[in-house]
A = this chain, B = another copy of it.
Amino acid sequence: MSGFDVAALRREFPILVPGLHYLDNAATAQTPRAVLDALIAHETTHRANVLRGVYRLAEEATAAYHAARVELAGYVNARDPNEVVFTSGTTGAINLVAHGFGAALKPGDEIVISVLEHHSNIVPWQLLRDRAGVVLKALPVTLDGRIELAELPRLIGPRTRLVAVTHASNVTGAVTDVATVVAAARSVGAPVLLDGAQMAPHGPLDVQALGVDFYAFSGHKMFAPNGVGVLWGRAEVLAAMAPFQGGGEMIRRVTLARTEYADPPHRFEAGTPPIAQAVALAAAARWVRGLPAEAVHAHLRRLTERLLDGLAARGRVRVIGPTGLQGRLATVSFAVARVHPHDVCQILDARGVALRGGHHCAQPLMDALDLAGTARASLAPYNDDGDIDAFFAGLDDVLRRFP
């Protein structure tokens, strides 16, 4: 029916035991055997520090780490592997830009974000504002949980130095119309950063076609370990950036008086990097590429439609975000009248349905929508009809218990 064997896919994930309906993939996706195997293989056969050792293990570790960079460069279609900086995650990547790119900004310079950003794409800019006196402007959100792009002309101007928005919302699932953002930013010569934490797990990207300057994402949301992520940056932009953290690997020459920094990507990778995690992230990228993209897309679309239809059919439930299938991910937030999201989640948990409730690290969005929080179901390719059935059975239980 869905064109690929979801049962077989589930068997690749040791954690997906019968009775577990894992619908919190937007927070952290589960990890397949292939990725764990890559991690363990690295740790048990090539483990060493990278870049400075001449012995066999060190050469192998360095080669594996470099190969991971090449793999991720391919995944985002970078022109050059050196445009890929390994970070600790999306948060680490955005903070890196806020410091490295932000160091050149002057008081009064403007950064445009949106109201529906994750805290990780808000707070680093607030900290920069407090450090450097830049002005932070936020695109509002539409009633159906999208960035209000019609406001771009009003917010973007000659002082705009960066537009930093999410590629897809972790709350509403809305996918941003990047072309419109890029066109507006280009009109004033401002670079664009996309927070790709939610989008990257959905398949290879083309940063060149997107026309952006920075792209950030996390390993743990794309079936890889915690503690690793990627900042892709356009070569020229990275080259002009100041270092962020100081330490080993990121230097060319250190004296106590002054230090010369290495070229990107090393300039931005201070200290021993997350080597095995990068290797595992590369394995995850390969694993995602190995999925039958069309069939997975159709499968997720069908399950998302079941979610949206089923929620719409229940009178006390309101979908927070786009109610249609256009321009959205398989992430669906909703509010149940008179029931707090945590109570929804708790009751579903009793049935093995793992759902997230709360502000989803997007408090300004919650304020804009005047909500304390939402409950959210977010799907991955391994979710199946059984998961959706269990979800609705649990939701009906909620409605029954909280009349």
A positions within 8 Å CB-CB of B: 14-15, 20, 22, 24, 27-28, 30-31, 36, 39-40, 43-45, 47-49, 52-58, 88-92, 94-95, 98, 115, 118-120, 122-127, 136, 138, 218, 220, 225-228, 243, 245-251, 253-256, 258-259, 270-277, 342, 345-346, 348-349, 352-358, 361, 363-364, 367
- Find out whether the CB atom of B88 lies under 8 angstroms from the CB atom of A246: no
Q: List 20 A-B contacts (CB under 8 A).
A: A14-B45, A15-B44, A27-B48, A28-B47, A30-B47, A48-B354, A49-B220, A88-B92, A90-B271, A91-B245, A92-B245, A118-B247, A119-B254, A120-B246, A126-B246, A126-B259, A226-B227, A226-B277, A254-B364, A255-B367
**Complex interface: chain B residues within 8 A of A94 (CB):** 247
Contact B258–A126 (Cβ < 8 Å): yes
By the criterion CB–CB under 8 Å, are B277 and A361 in contact?
A: no
- Contact between A52 and B250, CB atoms less than 8 A apart: no
The chain B residue with its CB closest to the CB of A50 is B28
CB-based nearest B residue for A61 = B28
Task: Report Cα–Cα, A40/B250, bound state, in Å.
Answer: 31
Contact status B357-A88, CB under 8 Å: no
Chain B's nearest CB lies how many Å from the CB of A363?
A: 4
Q: CB-CB < 8 A to A118: which residues of B?
A: 247-248
| Given A14-B44, A56-B352, A122-B254, 15 additional A-B pairs, CB 8 A | A24-B58, A36-B43, A55-B353, A58-B354, A58-B356, A91-B248, A118-B248, A119-B248, A119-B254, A120-B248, A226-B277, A227-B228, A247-B361, A249-B361, A255-B363
Cross-chain contact of A95 among B22, B245, B276, B364 (Cβ < 8 A): B245
Which B residues are CB-close (under 8 A) to A55? Answer: 24, 345, 348-349, 353-356
Contact B36 A53 (CB under 8 A): no
Q: Is the CB of B357 within 8 A of A54?
A: yes
Given that A36-B43, A276-B226 are known contacts, is A123 also in contact with B24, CB under 8 Å in the complex?
no
With known contacts A95-B247, A245-B91, A56–B364 Cβ distance under 8 A: no
A226 to chain B, nearest CB (A): 5
Question: Which B residue sits closest to A86, measured CB to CB?
Answer: B227
Contact of A54 among B228, B273, B342 (CB under 8 A): B342
Inter-chain CA distance A52–B342, complex, in Å, is: 10
Total copies of this chain within the assembly: 2
B47-A24 in contact (CB<8A)? no
A341 → chain B, closest Cβ, in Å? 9
- Taking a contact as CB atoms closer than 8 A, the residue among B123, B273, B348 that contacts A251 in the complex is B123
Give the CA-CA distance A256 to B48 in the complex, in Å: 44
Indicate if the CB atoms of B27 and A49 lie closer than 8 Å.
yes
Cβ of B346 and Cβ of A54 under 8 Å apart? yes
Query: Complex: how many Å from CA A246 to CA B128?
Result: 10
**Do B30 and A36 touch (CB < 8 A)?**
no
A275 — which chain B residues lie within 8 A by C-beta?
Answer: 226
B364 A255 Cβ-Cβ under 8 A:
yes
Which 4 residue pairs are nearest across A and B when measured between Cβ atoms? A91-B271, A123-B246, A227-B274, A227-B227
Task: State A45–B274 Cα separation when bound (angstroms).
Answer: 22
What CA separation (Å) do A115 and B243 show in the bound complex?
22
Are A124 and B258 interface neighbours, CB within 8 A? Answer: no
CA–CA, A341 and B263, complex, Å: 25
Contact B227 A122 (CB under 8 A): no
Is the pair B24, A49 in contact by a Cβ cutoff of 8 Å?
A: yes
